[in-house]
């Protein structure tokens, strides 16, 4: 707090490495072993480890998550808080603004601090961030109340052997990339913008290539070393 205004300071931020959704398009990616909540907890734990702030002074956790599709996603920020090493007495808020969920959690945290809304003055620090995993499940809809095998499906897991002939599994990832308002998928919006603003495929490819090369150069130069927390993957004996 200064004489004429309040200043919010960010410290200790850490993130997990990036892992491909598939390995060589042939097997599940390295992070398929983790739920979104688990990944968020890893990031919180690494952040608390790299800041001088005593975690007992953290009074609120605000975490973003775009798609609540994993088994423990209903707990989201709560689950990330537990896995990150914070106690049950620390409240946690989940923010969902699709691709902007993580940065929105930062904005909400700043608002909490500046407005004093639900702000614990005895524990004045907040943890904010976001987590996401592309390992969305394949799902069957409209199955509850229908006959599966010899019984009507009410609760619990369904035996795939008993599913009605022709039942299709829907891809939660693909459904999450479809905008019902625009009635098109995300990739189709890119095609529409290309036509509207005269962006050629060659220009788009050049832009994408340059972006990837810049990111690779920055990684190889060590610019991301401080912010990336290594993750040991169970069953592989190593870290990505």
Contact 47, 12 (CB under 8 A): yes
Does 142 lie in the same domain as 109? no
167 within a domain of the structure (yes/no): yes
Q: How many CB atoms lie within 10 A of CB 58?
A: 23
36 within a domain of the structure (yes/no): yes
3-class SS letters over 189-227:
HHHHHHHHHCCCHHHHHHHHHHHHHHHHHHHHCCCCCCC
148 within a domain of the structure (yes/no): yes
Does 73 lie in the same domain as 57? yes
Angle (CA) 74-79-83 rounded to 5° is 160
Does 107 lie in the same domain as 38? yes
Does 143 lie in the same domain as 126? no
pLDDT at 1: 47
Between strands 147-148 and 125-130, the pairing is unpaired
pLDDT at 4: 62
Does 117 lie in the same domain as 155? no
226 within a domain of the structure (yes/no): no
pLDDT at 14: 96
Kindly report the backbone phi and psi dihedral angles of residue 183, in degrees, each rounded to the nearest multiple of 5, phi listed first: 55, 45
Contact 112, 92 (CB under 8 A): no
Q: What domain range includes position 146?
A: 138-171
240 residues of the chain, pLDDT tens digit each: 455 667 788 888 999 999 999 999 999 999 998 999 999 999 999 999 999 999 999 999 999 999 888 888 888 999 999 999 999 999 999 999 999 999 999 999 999 988 887 778 899 999 999 999 988 888 888 888 988 888 898 988 888 888 888 888 999 888 888 889 889 998 899 899 999 999 999 999 999 999 999 999 999 999 999 999 999 997 765 555
65 within a domain of the structure (yes/no): yes
Does 184 lie in the same domain as 148? no
Does 198 lie in the same domain as 151? no
232 within a domain of the structure (yes/no): no
DSSP lists the bridge partners of residue 52 as none
Does 120 lie in the same domain as 215? no
* Cα 162 to Cα 124, 142, 151, 169, distances in angstroms: 54, 15, 9, 14
pLDDT at 123: 93
Does 117 lie in the same domain as 29? yes
32 within a domain of the structure (yes/no): yes
Does 34 lie in the same domain as 118? yes
What's the CATH number where 43 sits? 3.40.47.10
5 within a domain of the structure (yes/no): no
Does 108 lie in the same domain as 198? no
Q: How many helices (H) does the chain have, and how many strands (E)? A: 6, 11
Q: How many domains does the chain have?
A: 3
Does 205 lie in the same domain as 122? no
Instruction: For the full predicted model, state whether its pTM sits above 0.85.
Output: yes
Closest CA relative to residue 69, chosen from 176, 224, 187: 176
């Amino acid at each position: 707090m200064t004489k004429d205004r309040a200043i919010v300071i960010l410290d200790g931020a850490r993130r997990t490495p990036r892992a491909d959704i598939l390995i060589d398009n042939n097997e599940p990616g390295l992070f398929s072993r983790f739920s979104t909540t688990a990944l968020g907890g890893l990031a919180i734990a690494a952040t608390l480890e790299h800041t001088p702030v005593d975690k007992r002074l953290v009074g609120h956790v605000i975490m973003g998550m775009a798609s609540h599709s994993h088994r423990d996603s209903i707990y989201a920020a709560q689950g990330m808080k537990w896995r990150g090493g914070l106690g049950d007495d620390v409240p946690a808020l989940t923010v969902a603004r699709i691709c902007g969920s993580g940065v929105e959690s930062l904005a909400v945290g700043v608002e909490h601090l500046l407005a004093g809304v639900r702000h614990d003055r005895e524990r004045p620090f907040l943890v904010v961030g976001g987590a996401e995993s592309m390992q969305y499940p394949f799902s069957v809809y409209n199955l509850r109340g229908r006959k599966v095998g010899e019984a009507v499906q009410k609760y619990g897991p369904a035996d795939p052997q008993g599913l009605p002939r022709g039942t299709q599994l829907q891809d939660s990832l693909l459904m999450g990339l479809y905008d019902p308002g625009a009635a098109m998928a995300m990739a189709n919006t890119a095609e529409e913008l290309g036509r509207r603003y005269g962006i050629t495929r060659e220009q788009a490819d050049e832009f994408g290539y340059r972006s990837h090369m810049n990111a690779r150069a920055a990684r190889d130069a060590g610019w991301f070393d401080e912010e990336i927390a290594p993750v040991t993957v169970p069953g592989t004996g190593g870290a990505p």
